[in-house]
Chains A and B, each alone.
Chain A
Amino acid sequence: MPPFLIALYGNLLNGAILGAVYGMMTMGLSLIFGVLRIVNVGHGAFIMVGAYTAFFLFTLYGIPPLLAVPFSFIIGMGLGALFFYTVIKRLIDSPELTTLLATFSFGVLLEEVAKLLWGPDYRGFNWEVGSLHLPFVTIPLEKLYAFLASVSMALILYIWFKKGRSGMAIRAIMEDREGASCCGINVDGMYGLSFSIGIALTVASGSLLTLFIPVGIHPYMGGIYTLKAFVIAVLGGLSSPWGAFFGGFIFGLVENGAYSLFGLVPGLEPFSMTYFAAFLILLILLLIRPEGLLGANGG
């Protein structure tokens, strides 16, 4: 194979694996938007919390990062509930302005508390479990684990959403809030539940992310993930967690595949151009298909 194709193939494979983690990372954002119509601008800060959880469990107690995921999920539930009942509950029908600012402020608060507790240092760890050798490429096994864990978590969520009692209630609210409330669904309680689960998924994805990128754990690490999550969420239709999961896949593929293509143009920095391309796609999609690539809406 010519070197360009080998590189493209390697990049696409990497993109697919990373894409699953990206998808997982965005499901919480979409769930919260789908149910409460709130964009969580502090998204990245919750990812940061998950990354620190994995880091401390591994370095202090030797717990492998994969097993940190349930811990992070529980921490996320707690944080989500706290944030919901102190702030979000009072803002449900407020204009975007207030909810955007509230989620942003909560994110800043988390970052500053993290800095106070754990200092401004960059942390990281090294969990070595070997590599998988495929033709032309080598894939570290921990990345593969992250991929599998993301896919299985998405599946569990899917089953809960389709079959679980509370999952169905939440779907009903997404379709029609007044109607759901008439059918005897406790709308406020379900808001709290979906917000907490949304945050919990985000925190858990932060732990998964450390399998992929175990370095650079830092109080302010989340910003770029917030931006990526926005693009991914729009790819998936913004209000659909499944759409978001597949959006993550597509994003991972585009981001990595576009690198090879931009690299062919002299005078361009292909890496920055992939970021540019991502935001360009975001704009185009918002204009022509705001319901997302898959047209999925509300699950």
Chain B
Amino acid sequence: MRQYIPFLPVVAIYGTLFLTGLLLEGMWQPMALLAFYGALGQVFNIFLGLTGYVDFGYVAFLAIGSYGMAIAASSLYEDLGWWIVPTGFVLAFIMASFLSIAVGAIALRLKGAYFAIATIGVSEGLRYLIEGTGLWGGSMGIIVSRPLREAFGREGANSLSTFWADSILYGIALVAAFITLMILKSRAGYAFLAMREDEEAARVMGIDTTRYKLLAFFISASLGGLIGASAWTLKMNYVFPSDVFDIVYTIEAIIIVLLGGSGTLLGPLVGGLVYGALKYWLAVTFPGLQLLLFAPLILVIIVAFPQGIIGILRERMGSAFRGVIL
């Protein structure tokens, strides 16, 4: 049981967010925004944190997942009724997995900056393919408010978008955190550690690096697809290619992971909280200036605290706590 102790703070924080949203007036959406950032970081961390590879086109997986849900909702609502939502999640998962296997098989042979650029290419290329061929509505995208209303009724559709879509996000975040913990505590965790330190050496030692990289990539991508399906299609009710293939989300994921501590369990969550809260607070207090204030802050953090919040905490704290905070 001891190995599950580091999971407790994760559950406690997400639980606090959830209850705060539920009990305090007007706090549900802001808490859901924090949960979105937490989930995004948690899921992205599985690949970036464990392997050290930077997927600069990560947003493609969220985008393809949001299309999965949108396709299910807009084309099947007459036959399936409320079943469109589970079907949509399955479709989102499948589409994101396929994309991750295809991209992974190709791009994961590349290293460092070459990998980062290749993944940007995948994300942008996919977007222009959709716009250029008119696939899935092309640049017009898909709007699912009407199908959701037909399938769930007015009240049902409203609570699906403003309550359930967010709740599912908490679930995805917890699952991602749990998977991270399992990997960190297992043999695979040591394999990843060895790979991050020196990939060549790890390979020589008999670690099948390609398999581990692909595994992390696959898990991270397919969970990302579920985030897209829930946080974008179900919550926002629309998918426009220019909106979902936005590189900003990839950047946000990177910032969150780096801020909290890459490769740690609690890092992405803490990073997501700090990032989300800071942005929300800046938007409310300095409307129009938040990016101007934010950019230098990131630069300072990169230069002064590259190991992230959790990284620093682990360094400073006694060994007794290290078992708890991972």
**A/B touching: CB–CB < 8 A:** yes
- Residue positions of A touching B, CB distance < 8 A: 33, 37, 39, 41, 86-87, 90-91, 94-98, 100-102, 104-106, 108-109, 111-113, 116, 223, 227, 230-231, 233-234, 238, 262, 267-273, 275-276, 278-280, 282-283, 286-287, 290
Interface residues of B, count at CB 8 A? 43
User: What chain B residues lie within 8 Å of A102 (beta carbons)?
Assistant: 298-299, 302-303
Q: Are A100 and B54 in contact (CB under 8 A)?
A: yes
Q: Are B117 and A230 in contact (CB under 8 A)?
A: yes
The verdict on B39 contacting chain A, using a C-beta distance below 8 Å, is no
Q: Are B303 and A279 in contact (CB under 8 A)?
A: no
Q: 4 tightest CB-CB pairs across the interface, nearest first?
A: A279-B125, A272-B132, A109-B295, A112-B292
| Distance A116 CA – B118 CA, assembled complex (angstroms) | 34
User: What chain B residues lie within 8 Å of A116 (beta carbons)?
Assistant: 289, 292
User: What chain B residues lie within 8 Å of A95 (beta carbons)?
Assistant: 52
27 A-B residue pairs with Cβ-Cβ distance under 8 Å, sorted by A, are: A39-B116, A91-B303, A97-B54, A98-B306, A100-B116, A105-B302, A109-B295, A109-B299, A112-B291, A116-B292, A231-B121, A269-B132, A275-B125, A276-B128, A276-B132, A279-B121, A279-B124, A279-B125, A279-B128, A282-B117, A282-B118, A283-B106, A283-B107, A283-B122, A286-B121, A287-B106, A290-B110
Most chain A beta-carbon contacts within 10 A, residue among B107, B118, B291: B118
| Distance A91 CA – B258 CA, assembled complex (angstroms) | 14
- Residue positions of B touching A, CB distance < 8 A: 48, 52, 54, 56, 106-107, 109-110, 112-114, 116-118, 120-122, 124-125, 128-129, 131-134, 138, 247, 251, 254-255, 258, 262, 289, 291-292, 294-296, 298-299, 302-303, 306
Q: Are B113 and A33 in contact (CB under 8 A)?
A: yes
Shortest CB-to-CB span from A288 to chain B, Å, is 11
Q: Is the interface of A mostly helix, strand, loop or mixed?
A: helix
Q: Are A269 and B124 in contact (CB under 8 A)?
A: no
Q: Are B303 and A272 in contact (CB under 8 A)?
A: no
**Which B residue's beta carbon lies closest to that of A280?**
B125
Q: Is the interface of B mostly helix, strand, loop or mixed?
A: helix
**Which B residue's beta carbon lies closest to that of A287?**
B106
User: What chain A residues lie within 8 Å of B251 (beta carbons)?
Assistant: 101, 104
Shortest CB-to-CB span from A292 to chain B, Å, is 11
Shortest CB-to-CB span from B317 to chain A, Å, is 24
| Distance A37 CA – B113 CA, assembled complex (angstroms) | 8
| Distance A267 CA – B118 CA, assembled complex (angstroms) | 28
Shortest CB-to-CB span from A256 to chain B, Å, is 16
Q: Are B258 and A286 in contact (CB under 8 A)?
A: no
| Distance A33 CA – B128 CA, assembled complex (angstroms) | 27
Shortest CB-to-CB span from A276 to chain B, Å, is 4
Q: Are B124 and A234 in contact (CB under 8 A)?
A: no
